[in-house]
A = this chain, B = another copy of it.
Amino acid sequence: MARRPAFFISDRTGLTSESMGEALLEQFRDVQFKRATYPFVDTPEKARAMVQIIEKTAQQTALRPLVFSSIVDEEIRSIIKSSPGLHLSFFDAFLGQLEDELGIQARHTAGGRHGIGDTERYDARMEAVNFSLNHDDGISDKDLQKADVILIGVSRSGKTPTCLYLALQYGIRAANYPLTPDDLDNPGLPPMLRNHLNKLYGLTIQPDRLAEIRQERRPDSHYASLATCKREVAEAQAMFRRFNIPFTNTTQKSVEELAVSIMQACKLKRRF
């Protein structure tokens, strides 16, 4: 059966129309969709080219396309809406209501916010990215002092991508402390972490999934064996409980969800 076409169209990056569209499509798991994202549709010419693409797709599939759009300019928006499709237009749905409520007209032009020229935002972001890159392996006490949060967990429990996401998305300086087998054998907290108990956040993971991830990295090693993974995870969780360190299981969570959970649990505020 032909898949239902779903277009995500935007005058900017398309990230908003994509995340909005995906959240909606996710509500219909039995339907197969054929997705296509078109960013930077910011002139009437590009909009008319877009209409032709939508028309062609509608003819080929004989299914009415779903068109998720986030376009500020009214002329461009109305061109897009002349195409055959169910139009779910983000600004149509909300902008008028907001204008009425605020009692002023919206700008109706796509903005150039948050460029690298937006130096405050860029600097916070870069500082955080550099922080997490510099301390991915081997970390000093000075680094830990500067950190907003310190993620701890066994090797391959998801610390690195979460640190990077916290840096890129929120400008948070997230340090990454891997719990080694030595750390885990010891009943105390690793010495370096003792002065930073209030910044610690633990990541744990299902042992079978951990074994799978480690297997990719070092096939058939002691490190990747299910027994090792089970023991390390149990010891790490015991440590988290012993020292009242908040922690979460990463197995069923996306990096986005982990980052937001950590922001919330550690009461962190975005730096831009």
Name A residues whose Cβ lies closer than 8 Å to a Cβ of B. 4, 12-16, 19-20, 23-24, 26-31, 39-40, 64, 66, 70, 72, 86, 88, 90-91, 93-95, 97-98, 101-102, 104, 106-108, 111-119, 121, 123, 125-126, 129-130, 133, 136, 158, 160-161, 164-165, 168, 205-206, 209, 212-213, 216, 250-257, 259-261, 264
Least CB distance, A19 to chain B, in whole angstroms: 5
Interface centre among A14, A15, A88, A250 (most CB of B within 10 A): A15
Instruction: List 16 A-B residue pairs with CB atoms under 8 Å apart, sorted by A's residue number.
Output: A13-B260, A14-B260, A15-B260, A24-B94, A27-B106, A27-B108, A31-B104, A39-B264, A40-B260, A93-B93, A112-B252, A116-B205, A117-B209, A125-B255, A126-B161, A129-B164
- A129 — which chain B residues lie within 8 A by C-beta? 160-161, 164
Least CB distance, A176 to chain B, in whole angstroms: 11
Contact of A88 (CB < 8 Å), options: B31, B98, B115, B123? B98
Q: Which 6 A-B pairs have the closest CB atoms?
A: A27-B106, A115-B252, A114-B254, A93-B93, A13-B260, A16-B19
Contact of A260 (CB < 8 Å), options: B39, B112, B116, B254? B39
Interface centre among A27, A115, A251 (most CB of B within 10 A): A27
Q: If A28-B104, A129-B164 touch, does A253 touch B116 (CB 8 Å cutoff)? A: yes
Least CB distance, A259 to chain B, in whole angstroms: 8
Bound-state Cα–Cα, A160 to B94, Å: 36
- A15 — which chain B residues lie within 8 A by C-beta? 19, 256, 260
